[in-house]
Amino acid sequence: MVCWSGRLLYVDLSKGEIKKEEIKEDLYKKYLGGDGFGSYYMNKFVSGDTDPLSGDNALILAPGLLVGTPIPTAGKSEFFAKSPLTDGWGEGACGGSIGLALKQAGYDVLIIKGKSEKPCYLFIDDDNVEIRDAQHLWGKTTRETEEEIKKEEKNCSVACIGIGGENLVRYAIISSDDRQAGRGGLGAVMGSKKLKAIAVRGSKDVNLKDPSKVLELTFEWYEKMVNSQAFKDDGLYGSGEFLEWMNKERGTFPTRNWREGVFDQRQKIDPYYWAPRYSIKNKACIQCVKPCGKMFVIKEGKYKGTKLDGVEYETLFSLGGNCGNPDIESVAKANELCDLYGIDTISAGGCIGFAMDLYENGILTKDDTEGIDLRFGNSEAVVDMVEKIAKREGLGNILAEGVKRAAEKIGKGADKYAVHVRGMEPPAYDVRGIKGMGLAFLTSPRGACHLRSGAYALELLGKFWKYEGVDRLSAKNKGREIADMENFMAIYDALGVCKFSRGFFLLEGFREILKATAGLDYNEEKFLEIGERICNLKHLFNLKCGWKREQVKLPPKIRIPIPEGASKGSYISEEEEKEMLDDYFKARGWTKEGEIPREKLEALGIEEFL
C-alpha cells in the first residue's frame, strides 16, 4: 500500500452533481500531489478566457503527497483557481487540517465548479458527500462559521470564507484552523459560487509502503529539527524574528509604500518587543514541529479582546511598516479583522499603504476618505480601512479591487504609486536591494511572490543548496538561479512540506522518505524534472490567459534608489530587468518573448495541453 487514495472528488454546484473518479498511478509518479495536481487539473478544467468569478472557474483543493504521514512539517495543502486579482494563475497554501481530512476521507483532489443559487457548504463524510444549506452562515466571520459547522458536525475540519469572500474582495482568503490560503483572491472564487465552506470528516487510514521505516525517518528528522537554533528562534519569536535584521543589516524592509527600505519606528512591531508581552502560547500548522505561529492576545486598552494567530512577518510589513504604522496593537487588530473577514493581509496592507501615499501626495482628499486622515503612521486609519475594504464601503470599495484596478479607477497619476506585479501586491522584500527577488516577482506565476522561488534566503545570505557567493545587489546570472529555485520549491508544494524546512531536507532528504511512504525512488535530478514540469504547466496556463512579456514589469518605485540604510542607492533599472528576464527565459528553454516551444513541452511530457 502507498500514501495515495487514487480518487478524485468532483462537485458541480450548478447541477448538484457529485462524481468520484480514478486518478491513475502514472499521475502520482509524474506530479506527486499538491502543487503538481493543481498544475495538471487547472490546465484540464479551466480555460484561459474563463471569468474568475463565473461558474466555469474551478476551485481545486489538493493536499501534498506526504500530508497524512507523520513526516515533520508535511501538513500543507494547496487551493487553486483562476485568480480574480490577476486574471491568471491563482494558488494558495494552507497549513490547516482541511487537506489532511480530505485524504482521510479517501480523496487526493477535490474539484468544485458551477454556482449555487443560494449560500451552501459542501460536507464530505468519507464516501458520503452532500451540498448543504448555508444561509444561516452567510455574513458570519471565518471563526464563527467554523465554530457553527463543528457544532453541527462533530470531528470535522472546515475551510471557509468571511464577508470578504462574500463581497468578492479580489484578495479574499480561505481560512482553515486560523491558517489561510491567502493570496490571489481564492476566497472570492468561493464567494462567487455562494460556497461558504467545505467541511470534511474522514476516518480512513493513510497507508504507507514501509511503516516501520517511515517511523524511523520521522524520529530522525524530528531530532534534527527541534534541536536546531533556527527552530528554537522561531519558537520564541515566530516568523517575524528577522525583522530587525532585514531593516538594519540589509536595509530591505519596504516602508511607507516602498518609499524607503528601513522603517525607523519599527521597535514595537518587532517580535523581540511584543512576543514576551502579548504572546500566550505557540501555534503550529498540522503535522508541524516548528511552531512559528504565536497566539497573540491584547488584554487591555482600546483593542482589548483582540486574539489571533500571528502576527507573521509579512503582516508586520504590510499593516505595519508599509503603512508607517508603529503600533503593534493596531497591527494586531487589523490582522485579526483580516482573518475574521477573510481578506489577505499582504494585499490589504499594500492597498492601504498605496492609498496613504496618494493622500499625502494630494491625489486623494478627505472627501475621498470620508473624513479619515489617511496619512502614514495613523494607526487607527489602518484598522478603519480594513473594515471598509471587507465591507466594500466608500474608498474601501475601490481598494477591494487591488492596487492595479484601484489606480486605474482613481487616475490622476495614481499608477506611479501602485506597487504590484501583474496585479499582485508584493510581500516584504525590497527587491531594489535583492535583485534576484526582483526577477522572482516577475516570473512567479501568481504575480509578485516570495514563495514560488524562496530565493530571498539565498539572495540575502549569499548561499543556499548548490549556490554560493550570490551577490544580491547584482542583476547578473539570475536566470538559472531563479528557475532552479522555482523548480526546487515546487517539489515542497507538491509534497506538502513547509518551506521553512528546506534547509533540512533540501531534495536528497526526500529520497528515503518517498521510498518508505510511496515506494518511489527519486533522486534530486528526478525531483527537479517534476518541479520543472509543474512550473512550465503554470506558465502555460498563464499564456492561455493572455500573458505577454510586455505586461511583466516591476512598478515605477523600483526604479527609485533606496534612500538610506545598508542598501542605500540600490535600484533595478529597466536594462537590468530586461537582462534578468532574458537570462531567465534562456534558462527555461523558452523563447525571448516567454513562449514555451513545443519541444520543451514534449520533453516534459505535457504536450497534451497545447
Give the pLDDT confidence score for residue 269 in this predicted structure. 98
Against a cut of 0.95, is the pTM above it? yes
- Per-residue pLDDT, 1: 61
Please compute the mean of the pLDDT values over residues 385-404 and round it to a whole number. Answer: 98
Strands 7-12 and 109-113: parallel
Question: 317 in helix, strand or coil?
Answer: helix
Residue 180 pLDDT? 96
CA angle 293/423/497 to nearest 5° reads 35
Residue 320 has pLDDT above 90, yes or no: yes
Burial 215-233 (b: 16+ CB within 10 A, else e): eebbeebeeebeeeeebee
Q: Which amino acid is at 177?
A: D
For residues 189-207, give the mean pLDDT.
Answer: 97
CA dihedral 252, 445, 91, 231 (to 10 degrees): -40
What mean pLDDT do residues 136-162 have?
A: 97
pLDDT of 370 > 80? The answer is yes
- Using one digit for the tens of pLDDT, what is the confidence trace for 81-107? 999 999 999 999 999 999 999 999 999
- Summarize pLDDT for 509-559 with one digit per residue, the tens: 999 999 999 999 999 999 999 999 999 999 999 999 999 999 999 999 999
In the predicted model, is pLDDT for residue 350 greater than 90? yes
Q: What is the pLDDT of residues 15-66, one digit of tens each?
A: 999 999 999 999 999 999 999 999 999 999 999 999 999 999 999 999 999 9
Burial class (CB in 10 A: 0-12, 13-18, 19+), 597: exposed
Using DSSP bridges, classify how beta strands 307-309 and 157-160 pair: parallel, antiparallel or unpaired: unpaired
The domains of the chain, with CATH numbers, are 7-201 (3.60.9.10), 253-417 (1.10.569.10), 431-554+573-609 (1.10.599.10)
Per-residue pLDDT tens digits for 570-583: 999 999 999 999 99
